[in-house]
Amino acid sequence: MSRSPGRRPERLPAFSYRAVSRGLFRRSTESILCCDRIPLPRLAEHFGTPLYVYSASMIRERVRGFERAFRSADHTVCYSVKANSSLGILRLLAAMGAGFDVVSGGELERVLQVSSRAARKVVFSGVGKTPDEIEAALRAGILLFNVESESELSALAGCAARLKRVARLALRVNPDVPAKTHPYISTGLHQHKFGIPLVEARSLYARASGSKHLKIRGVSVHIGSQITDVEPFRLAMERVAELVNQLRADGHRIDYVDAGGGLGIDYEPTEVTDFEEYVADYADALLRPLRGLKVHLLLEPGRLLVGPAGALVTRVLYRKTNDGKKFAVVDAAMNDLLRPALYDAYHEIAAVQLLDAADSTETIDVVGPVCETGDFFARDRKLPATREGDLLAILDAGAYGMSLASNYNTRPRPAEVLVDGKSAKLVRRRESVADLLRPEN
């Protein structure tokens, strides 16, 4: 499939162009980028910019495709809330029967808000759970604590004893598997802060089994994020399977293997991956090493499910040229979408309105208004010529977009709209400056 920069006519079904006729004799046509059936200019008009727009139908489709890949195995998808914690999206996923992977008390509270019954499918990960967070999770009756250190194990036992409850747990082991991804989101090497080294795991399981307030239930791993090669997952799972056998021989009850998340998406327009094939390869990499073990598999995908289903719609405020270099200054900034500044990440940018007649392109930097050189969305990018006032869509912004947004430069965070076919729902209103100032006196 060939694609020209900034144009993605094949981008179905979440964001795709629709042709509209214009002019007195309807001779000229214009292509308008839509989310499902709704033209983005209409949403921008109604809700303002910058604006996060998500496609509910695409999220559902990806969840179903992911579930299909694992249909031969006993499993639960625990969506990783930190990828996009919008209540509207959590509600959609809860309605599909998903469980959730949370990394803070705040994320747990979000899950409980959308469904009190979902608590039974919640796993709690993270290296720094506070006593308050542990207590809230125990009271909610979550499925599993993924414990990451000996000190945390003691804290969990103490908390459970005080509340006269029993904590179900897995130890998150560090399989020491290198994964080709950005160093900030690689987590499965021994030099990273995550997990317990494999060689120490057995003695820690033995220690956990000594507390009547702790119930060992599984083994957990998570090797990183935005990993598009399935081999590291296979390698990690082989090491986990070996550990499961050892632990069972030691007399522990291992019902669950939590494989974590981390399967990546295509941000670059040149790479084309068939989703069904891709998740089938991933499923094979995880399931083959576990064959015969009779465990319930927990999966924690985040980015994979929601990333391509979201776009950040922004308006060109100004054009400027410095020494021959062209800039489009847009109304979105690094506080709204941090990935380019934080990880030097690539996001495809699409013109929302394309005039078929005017086919000219230009090479330009797309930058935000924040006072940092790192505040850019694209550098030296070939895009259809844009004018001031035009709309651009920064694609694949559904994951680690709004959830990483901040109020830097005292910028209110964008609104979020969830589109479903022909309907659009505002799931989070735009912040006001008054919202930002309220906690200060």
Contact residues for ligand PLP (CB under 6 A)?
A: 80, 82-83, 101, 103, 125, 222, 225-226, 260-262, 300-304, 399
Q: Which residue has the tokens 């004893």?
A: 161
Within 8 A by CB and 6+ apart from 242, the residues are none
Residue 263 beta carbon to ligand PLP: minimum distance, rounded to whole angstroms: 6
Whole-angstrom distance, CA of residue 406 vs CA of residue 431: 11
Closer to ligand PLP by CB, 49 or 146: give it: 146
Residues, the chain, total? 441
Catalytic annotation on 35? no
Residue 304 beta carbon to ligand PLP: minimum distance, rounded to whole angstroms: 6
Do the beta carbons of residue 417 and residue 52 sit within 8 Å? yes
| Torsion, CA 198, CA 201, CA 202, CA 207, rounded to 10 | 170
Q: What are phi and psi of 61, to 5 degrees?
A: -60, -40
Q: Checking DSSP bridges between strand 28-35 and strand 15-22, what pairing results, if any?
A: antiparallel
Residue 75 beta carbon to ligand PLP: minimum distance, rounded to whole angstroms: 15
Helix (H) and strand (E) counts for the chain?
12, 22
Tokens of 232: 């590291």
Residue 189 beta carbon to ligand PLP: minimum distance, rounded to whole angstroms: 15
Closer to ligand PLP by CB, 279 or 370: give it: 279
Residue among 310, 311, 411 nearest 370 (CA): 411
Whole-angstrom distance, CA of residue 101 vs CA of residue 259: 12
Closer to ligand PLP by CB, 262 or 384: give it: 262
Residue 22 beta carbon to ligand PLP: minimum distance, rounded to whole angstroms: 41
Whole-angstrom distance, CA of residue 73 vs CA of residue 152: 31
Residue 111 beta carbon to ligand PLP: minimum distance, rounded to whole angstroms: 14
Which residues are paired to 298 by β-bridges? 76, 258
Closer to ligand PLP by CB, 176 or 300: give it: 300
Which residues are paired to 224 by β-bridges? 186
Do the beta carbons of residue 47 and residue 361 sit within 8 Å? no
Within 8 A by CB and 6+ apart from 264, the residues are 181, 225, 226, 227, 228, 303, 304
Do the beta carbons of residue 118 and residue 94 sit within 8 Å? yes
What are the CA-CA distances from residue 381 to residues 52, 272, 376 (Å)?
22, 20, 11
Do the beta carbons of residue 419 and residue 47 sit within 8 Å? no
Whole-angstrom distance, CA of residue 392 vs CA of residue 346: 15
Closer to ligand PLP by CB, 390 or 416: give it: 416
Q: Which residue has the tokens 């994020």?
A: 225
Residue nearest ligand PLP, Cβ-based: 302
Residue 265 beta carbon to ligand PLP: minimum distance, rounded to whole angstroms: 9
Residue 219 beta carbon to ligand PLP: minimum distance, rounded to whole angstroms: 13
Catalytic residue among 35, 78, 159, 371: 371
Closer to ligand PLP by CB, 31 or 84: give it: 84
Closer to ligand PLP by CB, 47 or 233: give it: 233
Closer to ligand PLP by CB, 62 or 222: give it: 222
* Amino acid (1-letter code) at residue 22: R
Closer to ligand PLP by CB, 121 or 411: give it: 121
Do the beta carbons of residue 329 and residue 293 sit within 8 Å? no
Q: Which residues are catalytic?
A: 371
